Each structure stands twice: as structure tokens, then as C-alpha cells.
Amino acid sequence: MNFKINKFRPLRVLIMLLSIISASSWANDDRVSFNSGWLFSKGDHIDAAKSEFEDSRWRKLDLPHDWAIEGPFDKAYSARNGGLPVFGTAWYRKHFTLPKSTLGKSVSITFDGAMSNTEVFVNGNKVISRPFGYIAFEFDITPYLNSPGDENVISVKLSPENYSARWYSGAGIYRNTWLEINDKVHIKQWETFVSTPTITKDKAIVDYKTTVINTEKSSQPVVIKTSIKSAEGVVVDEVAQNTILPANSEHKIQQQLKISQPRLWDTEDPYRYTVVTTVVKDGNAVDVNSVPLGVRKIEFKADDGFWLNDRRVQIQGVCLHHDNGPLGAIVNTRAIERKLEIMKEMGANSVRTSHNPPSPELVELADKMGILLQVEAFDMWEIEKPAVVNGYNKDFEQWHDRDLRDMIKQYRNNPSVIMWSIGNEVMEQRKDDGWKVAKNLQRIAHDEDPTRLVTNGLSMYPDFIDKGMAQEMDIVGLNYKAYKYQEIKQAHPDWIIVGTETSSVVSTRGVYHFPIEKYNKHESKYVTSFDVITPPWAYIPDLEFENLKNNPSVMGEYIWTGFDYIGEPTPYGGRDHGNKFYWNQDWPARSSSFGAVDLVGFKKDRFYLYQSQWTDKPMVHVLPHWNWSEKVGETIPVFAYTNAEEVELFVNGQSQGRKRKGEDKVRLPVSLRYDKSVKYFDSPYRLRWDVEYQPGEIKVVAYTNNKVVSAKTIKTANKAAQIALSPDRKVLSADGYDLSYITVEITDTDGNLVPDADNKINFKVEGAGEIIAVGNGDSATTAPFQADYRHAFYGKAMLIVKSNKGMAGEIKVTASAEKLISSSVVLVSQ
């Protein structure tokens, strides 16, 4: 199956919108931010939907906003959801005035997502309700508005329920909102679809479809002009079509264009064109819609995996939840961009949006950064998962068709999206007729987008085969079935297979437990970073590497997970799909340990294990740290991860010998649910030396063709003496959203990280910025994320600074702690 696809996302001209929209700030047919000037209050306020409701004492804030991340952490809330108040009722209200120039226009509002059970009222009139917290929705408010120049009030009630998710969902209007004023003749949002049925070296044929709305009481003759522009702004083709739009109608438009010698969108060259459509009425342009277009070919082969632009590409994917660590669920473009940058550095080329529709910002960034997306719709269908009694199953019957269609319409034009996922580990796998639900969802996906295949994360082996669900899928997604790849492929050679969820190792950055052995829990409530601990259903990364190598027809994997996320503190508190509503028996463990990167973005050792398999740039990594004063003279295991041929270890300058990757294997403890006889795996993906500990330094030198290609040294740190600050960015945009992530390290006088330091660090920010959050990667603490202090966790902490809106200038950041030399850094907001 060869699918030649391209994709764009509807994109209007964006203008900053004040809470009062004045004529001077408004441009006709613009889509503008609706984030500023909201009022917020928790509680189920009677009459809060009414315009005249007294709200002058409510809290003033700008969106996006997540009330749950503000805490406090409390054992009364389930650690499965982060120990935070993700349920309850709250209201948002906004007073706004439209200019007189909007008279006779069509006015709509878009929410990119609101968590959840949303009800929206305009001037006391209920306009819309939408239960699914991850879905974007648009609604027309024209009939409910007061006259231009008069005040309007929009009221939004949210009522997320307890036991509604298996992870931290957040709460509130946590994604962006938009207001759009159009002529009564305009292009309908999310109804544009561009595809490229023909792509050759010489040309790409572009099929363009859209829907134009006419809400006038009479028919309207219009001209639809469509052009394709290169990234450099050069028009490469254009067409014009005269048509008459019937009164009060929606009219579908189809056009065909051509790109000569197209430049393809690719992971290494994410080049996009722009499709610009102008609606001309009475000689005037009344609507202009610009959408990006990526020209690329995708192909899925049962015998040879995934192909992009006529070459095989191994899926090196990560599953990512939607939260942004200490920021909570709020959408922030820089936070998402940084997350994707770190994943790309690890070697990841794909993201699975587990287990829900993503934000537009993530998809747009994936387009621009060349990251392949598996966009997922649901974690649950009709049957509830154990202990998730208020999940999507309550709304599935009424809303699944609309929600799935809306998700696909929103993102079917983005070139980064290569497949849709309709579910994850759904309970219907074990039902005789569960396949019917899968078949229907896949039908809906094909109806809205015939250019992409559909997958489904299947976990219940062999039920998903015996009951027929796998047979219905375009792509058979397998969760934690690496050791079944060969068996399944032999039985079903025509199946296209991907590892939709793999490995699930748990570890805590900076923590090392001796000896190296399997355990269920550790009294510290943390997990060793030797990366051998997994839940019962899972296995170490090395087993996935080995089975993918031996089964090259499998297109690749999506590891669980790229980043730690809030909630599901496995192995502490409970077990996945277990019957415990509250995972608090190991309190305060309240965040996951699955990530290759911790909650604030610090790299764990496992990051480098994946990097050693997924990248070609020479690298070598060594672990553990070298501060073991209580173990002088004892044997310490030293591991190295590399993509080179050989590694030599030096301890205090003395060579401990070279070891060759793939030949000098490392025996690792394992346990497999489906084969209890397997107790260990001899891994060709790691190197190990057992050496006597003496303080000083360890150094690893990597060789390829007997030449040094990389090296790394770790020294024994002396007493903590000072603080070091390292911002990821020193220049910010003064838009009130841009961020700088400042790494805070406790070091000795020579600048060596003190790996066991836990000093309390106080922060002061002066000038054109402010603290938005703090963190340190500690998965078992109730310290608040919104504060001006943080304890170091194994030597490190993170300070996240946000620019102030409209305020240019310097931002001075100072970190101090008792008995340590303080440190300052200056950022610039412009």
C-alpha cells in the first residue's frame, strides 16, 4: 500500500487580543487569541452562567490555565492522578466587547481543549457542551451576541470527575482559545483537505477540497482563488473557480493544482509549502485561509516495515503524555518544543500521542521539526477499565463518531502524521464482538482520511487474535509483545506490525542500588538507574532491540515513555489496571518513573542507552557516579553505552581493558510474563566492568576502527561548595509565554557535580520575567511546583522562568543556598 500524502493545518493570521476587543486592534477575517482577561473561581456557583452574575472578586488570569497543578498535593487525592485535585467544578468568565465593524459578521470561538465536561454560555444562553477534555471544538456565538459596542459575557463551566483517567489529566481551560470573526461567506474550519495522489520527481498533483459557508439569506456569486507558495514565498501554481453559493448553505469546493519538481517533506528536511485560498465576493477578498502543505510519500510493507519517500525508515518512537511536568497540563509551545528537541537528541524520530488527541502546537512543531506522529484518539471505548469508572466509556456511545472525526479533520493535513490510532489496551480485546467496534472506528478514520492507515495498541495476547480484533486493523499495534513478534509474523505474514508500546523500564535519575537485581519495590520509593526493573508485563530495552533486529519486518517501536509524567508512580502505589482507586500506599510517590528523561527534562542513563542504538554520531556514556565513600575497596559495576565498536575503561588512569560491543555481553536479570523459565538475558547492547572502588575518576574511551571517537570522564566530587546555573536559552520573546529552563547544579570548588546533594535552593527573579515553575525530577515529594525554592535532587534542580507580556528588558536570576556560593545569570526578553 503506497499512500502519497501531504498535510496542512488551517492557520489564520494571528493577532494578540486584549480582553476588550477595540476597533483599532481588530482586522476583518482574522483569528485572534482569546486567552487574555479571564476570571476564575472554583466551586459550583449558582447563576454563574448569567451575564449579571457578580464576579468582580474572582481571580484574574490569562489562559491556558490548569488549576490542578497549583495543588496542593494531598493524600486525599489518588497518586495515580498525581496526588493533585484533578476533579471538581470550576467556572471561567470573560467580559468582552466587539467593535461596530463586526456588525453583520459571523463570530465563532474555538477551544483547543478544556478538561472536561465543558458547558459554554454566552450572555446567559447555553451554546455548547463537550465532555471529552482532549478534543478541540468550535462554536458559533453570533445569535447570542449583544449589539457591537455592548458588553458580552462568556461563561464556561468545567466539571472533571474523579476516577476518570489513569494518569494526571490536569483541569481547566488548559489549551488555547481563539475568537474568529468572518464574513457570512467564509471557509469552514477543519473542512479543508489536501492530498497528493501523484508524486514523482518531476511533479506532484495536489488535490484540494474545502467547504465554503454562506449564511446570507440570498445566493452569493464568489470566486475561489487557490495558490501554492513555496517556503520562500514564490507562487508555484494557482487556480480560480467561479461558483454560486446557495443561500444558507455549505458548498464543497474541489480543485487540482500541480507542483513541478517538488521538494519533499522528510524527517531530515521538513520542507513545507503553503496553500492560500481567497474567497472573493463583490470584488473584495472576504476570507483568506492559509494552510501548510508537506509533500511526501509513505508506504507500509508487511515484509519491510515503514517507508518514507522511497526509503525504509525504522520507527524509533516514544510515547508521550500531554503534561509538561511542573507546568502541568497547560499548553506551552516552548515547553513542547524543548521536549521534542530532547527526544530528537536521543535519536527518536516519532511520537505516539498516548492516549489522546494532541494539542495543535505539538503537531505544528512535529511538522517543522521532522518528527513522525502516531495520533491517538482514545484510551477507552465502551467498556470501562478497572477503577476508571468515570472514563470515556461514559461518553463513547454518543460522542465517539464526532470526536474521532473532529480529531482527524483537524490534523489530516499535517505531513508529520503518518498513522491514526483508535485505541489503547481497550477491554473489548477479550470480547467476542469487540472487533466490531474496532472495525467501525477504522471505517470512520478511512472516511475522513483515506490516505493513512489505522492502528490500535493491542495488549491482551492471544485474545486480540482469537477474538478477531487484530485481523480488522490496517496496522497491528502490539504492546509489550517483542518476544511474540516472530510467532505472530509466521502465523500472519501479511500483517503490518509496529510495537505501539514497548519496554516500560522504571528508573530514577541519579539513583543506583546494589547489587544489581530484580525487585518489586525499594524502601527508598525510588528505582535503580541500572535499568533492569520493570513491571510484570514489561521487559528491558535490550530485549526489544534484539527482537526488532531478528524481525526486521516489524517497523519499529514506541517506548514507554520518552519523559516521566505526573501520575502512575509504578511500581509504587498500585499496578496498571489494578482495582485500587487510590494508589497512595507508598505516598508520597506520585509521578511515573517510566521515562528515559525525568519530569523536568534531565536525562537518565537510559536516554544514552537509546541514543547508543538510535544515533550515528559517536557517543559514549558511563555510569554510575563515582561518589561511594562508604564502599571504598568494594566492587562496583561500571556500565558503558556506546554506538562505537569498542570501549576502554580507565580507573584513576589505570586501564581496565577494552570491551567490544556485541561480543562482550552483559548478563542482566529479567522476568517474562509469558515465559517464566527465562531468568536473564545476555545483552550485546551494554558493556560492563566490575572494579574496586577508590575515589578519583573513571573515564571511558570509545573506539571505531581503532581510533578514538568519543570519551567521557566522571570525577569524585568533594564537598558541595557552589551553585551553577545553565539556562537553555538566554534570549526570550516578551510575549508572556516564552520560557527559559535553567539547570541548577550543586558543585564542588572544581565544578564537579555533587551527586548526592540535596540543598534547599532559593530563587529570585528580577526584571522582565517571573518564575512559572520549579522542579527536580523527584517522583516522591509533595513540594509544590509553583514556588521560589526547590531542594536539589541528586545534585540538580530546575527553575523555569517565563517572560512578562509586553515587557522587554533584562531578567536577572539568582540562586542561593546556605553555606554555598550563590550564582546569577542574566536573560534578555525582547
Kindly list the catalytic residues. 425, 501
Strand 496-503 and strand 635-642: the pairing is unpaired
Residue 261 CA to its chain's centroid (Å): 34
Task: Identify which of 515, 695, 530, 752 has the alpha carbon closest to the alpha carbon of residue 622.
Answer: 530
Length of the chain measured in residues: 830
Task: Identify which of 679, 637, 681, 641 has the alpha carbon closest to the alpha carbon of residue 661.
Answer: 641
Task: Identify which of 458, 455, 357, 329 has the alpha carbon closest to the alpha carbon of residue 414.
Answer: 357
Dig out the grid coordinates for 777 from the structure: 525530577
User: Which of 183-222 are b and which e, b meaning 16 or more Cβ less than 10 Å from the residue's Cβ?
Assistant: bbbbbbbbbbbbbbeebeeeebbbbbebebbbbbeeebeb
d(CA 78, CA 85): 9
d(CA 793, CA 801): 19
Beta carbons of 306 and 313 less than 8 angstroms apart:
yes
Sheet-wide strand order for 38-42: 59-61, 38-42, 90-97, 151-158, 118-122, 125-130
Beta carbons of 455 and 352 less than 8 angstroms apart:
no
d(CA 770, CA 763): 10
- The neighbour count for residue 290, using CB atoms within 10 Å, is 16
d(CA 31, CA 532): 50
d(CA 525, CA 361): 35
Query: Using N-to-C axis directions, what is the helix angle for 333-346 and 605-614, rounded to 10°?
Result: 60
d(CA 131, CA 400): 11
Beta carbons of 731 and 827 less than 8 angstroms apart:
yes
Give pairs for 12-15: CB < 8 Å, separation 24+.
Answer: 12/180, 12/289, 12/290, 13/288, 13/290
